[in-house]
Amino acid sequence: MRRTFFSFHYQPDVTRAYVVRNSWVVKPAEQQPNGFFDASVFEASRKESEDALKRFLREGVENTSVTCVLAGSKTSERRWVRYEIARSVIKGNGILTVYIHGIKNMDGYTASKGEDPLASMGVYKANDGIYLAERIGGEWKKYADYTLAIPTGVLWFPAPTSNTVVKLSDHCLAYDYAGQDGHKNIGGWIETAANIAGR
């Protein structure tokens, strides 16, 4: 059983995220709540300070081996989803995207398909190491919330060889929960991501 962190845009997609979580049926003793934070805890951490929220999210990712990014309409733009992705790269987690726009929310509505969040995050080589990058306004910029070099040993895919940004989506698989029978297949998708990363 993989300890999996689920990253998603809370306000519009929490109902959809819970559909995914509830479909991942395993023995109660093996169920891991990672990534499904109580909204009040998340908001309290965010109000305390940015450092407190970052610590909270780092701890959420810490004991996991796979990060499943649940992509709704605007997920790719969310700062803290990007931070969770960044911490997952630094930790060496297997990573995958699961589009959830086709799942109905509490009001019975689906949403428009958004961009793959892993296409807005990447890595590049500088003279002094490998760094994270993010796409803002159509341009790649050095990732602002983690500015240190990444040890090449944590990357489970080939390290970039130039300053051209390599998108994470180039190395990570993406699935459509509604269109690809996610209720039955989510466990296999997660296992595949773990295997690709050697976890």
Q: Does any domain span residue 75?
A: yes
* Residues of the chain with confidence (pLDDT) below 50: 26-41
pLDDT in the model for residue 42: 53
Phi, psi of 173 (to 5 degrees): -85, 155
Strands of 66-71's sheet, edge to edge? Answer: 4-7, 66-71, 94-99, 174-176
Q: Does pTM surpass 0.85?
A: yes
Q: Residue 100 sits in a domain of what CATH number? A: 3.40.50
User: In whole angstroms, what is the distance from residue 160 CA to residue 138 CA?
Assistant: 20
Q: Does any domain span residue 82?
A: yes
Q: Does any domain span residue 151?
A: no
Q: Does any domain span residue 94?
A: yes
Q: What is the pLDDT of residues 95-151, one digit of tens each?
A: 999 999 999 998 999 999 999 999 999 999 999 999 999 999 999 999 999 999 998
pLDDT in the model for residue 163: 96
Alpha helices in 28-126 (DSSP H): 39-48, 50-62, 79-91
Q: Does any domain span residue 154?
A: no
The mean pLDDT of the chain is 87
Q: Does any domain span residue 135?
A: no
pLDDT in the model for residue 24: 64
User: In whole angstroms, what is the distance from residue 108 CA to residue 104 CA?
Assistant: 5
Q: Does any domain span residue 134?
A: no
Contacts of 34 (CB under 8 A, 6+ apart): 3, 4, 5, 6, 60, 61, 63, 64
Q: Does any domain span residue 12?
A: yes
Domain encompassing residue 184: 4-114+171-196
Q: How many domains does the chain have?
A: 1
pLDDT in the model for residue 25: 56
pLDDT in the model for residue 181: 94
